[in-house]
Structure 1
């Protein structure tokens, strides 16, 4: 689903990254990294392991904040524990048509980015949840436009059949 609005989602990710000053990633329901900004862009096309907080956000359907990845309880079972380069994360589910379609990650890679994220956590959680709504609406609008185009084609084909018969 996320792949269908990938270009729009990438634009949103770049905008979020420039506003907040952190890395942004988007992962689909199969844990495929579809969108990334800055350093996170190198992960595009990679599939995350099932034992990640992102997988938990997708299945659980709620935003999670990790303020100290090496020591955070949420990271206890992660396969990257000990090798993780994130200094903080805010991960919000992307829900489309009531179903999990992936998640959006705000990723702090430096202490400065961590301070920015953790210093105003609730502000960024609220902002991120609004952005996931925006992406969901873009997907729904694309679906609606596709359905209208198909209806239009059906009408045109019907008219053509009547003209030539």
Structure 2
């Protein structure tokens, strides 16, 4: 089993043109290092944040599987760790151009954060997103629309974020 430092070295060594299965294998190693601890250590999160923040890393095919691992491990994260993860995804989303990465990111935000937090993130991400990123935001917004207990004005807010007709721009 690898250490956290060797995981960092390994992910940087994966060629950008590598097959998805290489990144998937790395994510499985990452998961094995994390183990079954009930706590999610900051060092693990910081490596994930680094991957989601460094273009040479998040552009590697299959990196969406790390987003999926974050989704699975969300219950172990503290509120501060969840905020840190969201900040990294939101701040770097404008460079994400892999459709699977964008879809998984939108899905994670919609399912793992409170509705208002997710809407604010999607609103901040949409305008500067790549075409694939816009699809990821739209998918996340669709997930929000299908959740029970949504706010009565959610549809209007979603249309505003997407720039759809029938809604005056926010002032």
Q: What band does the TM-score fall into relative to the shorter chain?
A: under 0.3
Structure holding more helix per residue: 2
Of the two structures, which has the highest relative contact order with CA contacts closer than 8 Å and spacing of 6 or more? 1
Q: TM-score, normalised by structure 2?
A: 0.22
